[in-house]
Amino acid sequence: MQVWTSLADIPAGTQSVVTIGNFDGMHRGHRRVIATCRDRARRREVQAVACTFDPHPASIHRPESGLTLINPLQDRLDAIAATGVDAAFVIHYDQSVYSLTAEEFALTYLVDTLGAVEIVVGEDFRFGCGNSGDIDTLRELGREHGFDVVMVADIEAPEGRRWSSSWVRELLAEGDVAGAARVLGHMHRIRGTVEHGFKRGRELGFPTANLSEDVEGVIPGDGVYAGWLVRQVPGTTAGEFLPAAISVGTNPQFDGEKRTVEAHVLGRSDLNLYGERVAVTFVSKIRPMMTFDSLDDLLCQMDDDLRVTAFVLGVGVSGRVDPAAVTAH
């Protein structure tokens, strides 16, 4: 898949079927819209192009909302590429874009540059200055400027709720990462840089990779999770999936105040991940964050966490590691 980040990147004479959206999280509803774009482009023998925005419009118009993207841009682009479209156009969202009328946006980005012969959008599509344009506006512009419009109806979960990014956010806030994965159609992951922590886990036989505050993606609610730590294999472009028990919270057992994400890779004492940019993928919540009457009670629970994590992930059970064997410093 080609990735275009400016109008100048788009080859002259391009003809396409286009879809447009924020696609935050790339949930099942998003993928249905993009798949429709792809299939219709194949029938018309033109390119299938997915347009998205960076930064997210809400971060510009409602900065007080403190919106955190479900996934960073690169993950969004990876998910778009997996749908089989030919290109993604990342539109830099600033005043030059949001000040355009609906017609100006359609002509500048869709007609004159992408050569849109058809535009595929969801039911709630809005565009143009102040979100003044809707599906009817787009259809009128299509009649005037020579492109067709296809609206993809919302799809719903069996319980009758529409698949949406807001639903994903609710589920993640509750710690229901399995439920979020059902809506997304894939496991949720975040990205961050591994930094030095208090090293309490190492002293107890549970060394952890602590993510710094520059985490990209929505951090699930407090609790302990089974999941994967994904790192790039040094010297390659390949990813290595390491089974992990993941703790999210303030570590109340030790009177912590700072909310952290810590991942203990099962059975490994030989990893030195400091400074690496890694991904943490959440599979299932195995328990809430808790405090215990004694350190022994905590250690017994952590031993159980390792067993449950191994069972959930389908890997061999690993116990505590020897603190003296930990190689990272």
- 56-60, 94-98, 177-181, 252-256: which has the minimum mean pLDDT? 252-256
**CATH code, domain carrying 39:** 3.40.50.620
In this structure, is residue 169 part of a structural domain?
no
Q: Is pLDDT at 18 greater than 60 in this prediction? A: yes
- 20-24, 67-71, 304-308, 311-315: which has the minimum mean pLDDT? 67-71
pLDDT band for 253, please (50, 70, 90 cuts): low
Contact 44, 147 (CB under 8 A): no
In this structure, is residue 92 part of a structural domain?
yes
The whole domain housing 235 covers: 188-325
d(CA 282, CA 188): 6
Q: Are residues 33 and 134 in the same domain?
A: yes
Q: Is pLDDT at 306 greater than 90 in this prediction? A: yes
Mean pLDDT, range 96-105, rounded to an integer = 94
d(CA 157, CA 160): 5
What's residue 310's pLDDT? 96
- 138-142, 185-189, 190-194, 265-269: which has the minimum mean pLDDT? 265-269
Q: Is pLDDT at 135 greater than 60 in this prediction? A: yes
Query: Coil, strand, or helix at residue 54?
Result: strand
Is residue 262 part of the annotated active site? The answer reads: yes
In this structure, is residue 272 part of a structural domain?
yes
In this structure, is residue 129 part of a structural domain?
yes
d(CA 26, CA 280): 17
- 119-123, 144-148, 178-182, 211-215: which has the minimum mean pLDDT? 211-215
Phi, psi at 190, each rounded to 5°: -125, 165
Mean pLDDT value across the chain: 90
Q: Are residues 272 and 223 in the same domain?
A: yes
The long-range contacts involving 231-240, CB below 8 angstroms and separated by at least 24 positions, are: 231/273, 231/276, 231/278, 231/279, 232/276, 232/277, 239/279
* Count of domains for the chain: 2
Mean pLDDT, range 80-103, rounded to an integer = 95
Q: Are residues 62 and 106 in the same domain?
A: yes
In this structure, is residue 177 part of a structural domain?
no
Q: Are residues 79 and 125 in the same domain?
A: yes
Query: Coil, strand, or helix at residue 295?
Result: helix
Task: Please give the residue that has the higher pLDDT: either 61 or 237.
Answer: 61
- 141-155, 171-185, 198-212: which has the minimum mean pLDDT? 198-212
Phi, psi at 203, each rounded to 5°: -65, -25
What is the sign, positive or negative, of the torsion defined by CA atoms of 318, 319, 322, 327?
positive
Q: Are residues 53 and 198 in the same domain?
A: no
Pairing, β 87-92 against β 116-122: unpaired
Q: Are residues 243 and 318 in the same domain?
A: yes
Q: Exposed/middle/buried for 65, CB within 10 Å: 0-12, 13-18, 19+?
A: exposed
Q: Are residues 6 and 70 in the same domain?
A: yes
Length of the chain: 329
Q: Are residues 201 and 321 in the same domain?
A: yes
pLDDT, tens digit, 9 for 90 and up, residues 50-81: 999 999 998 888 888 888 899 889 899 999 99
**CATH code, domain carrying 232:** 2.40.30.30
The catalytic position among 174, 240, 257, 262 is 262
Q: Are residues 290 and 195 in the same domain?
A: yes
pLDDT, tens digit, 9 for 90 and up, residues 167-195: 999 999 999 999 999 999 999 999 999 98
Q: Are residues 22 and 144 in the same domain?
A: yes
What's residue 205's pLDDT? 73
Query: Coil, strand, or helix at residue 245?
Result: strand
Q: Are residues 254 and 149 in the same domain?
A: no
What's residue 324's pLDDT? 62
Q: Which of 137, 157, 177 is a domain's end point?
A: 157
Q: 3-state DSSP helix/strand/coil percent for the chain, to nearest 5?
A: 35, 25, 40
Q: Is pLDDT at 121 greater than 80 in this prediction? A: yes
Mean pLDDT, range 5-27, rounded to an integer = 95
In this structure, is residue 179 part of a structural domain?
no
CB atoms < 10 A from the CB of 182, how many?
Answer: 16
Q: Where are the alpha helices (DSSP H) in the chain?
A: 28-44, 57-61, 73-82, 95-98, 102-105, 135-145, 165-173, 177-184, 200-204, 295-313
Q: Is pLDDT at 27 greater than 70 in this prediction? A: yes
Mean pLDDT, range 110-127, rounded to an integer = 94
Q: Are residues 142 and 48 in the same domain?
A: yes
In this structure, is residue 183 part of a structural domain?
no
pLDDT band for 196, please (50, 70, 90 cuts): confident
In this structure, is residue 101 part of a structural domain?
yes
What's residue 252's pLDDT? 62
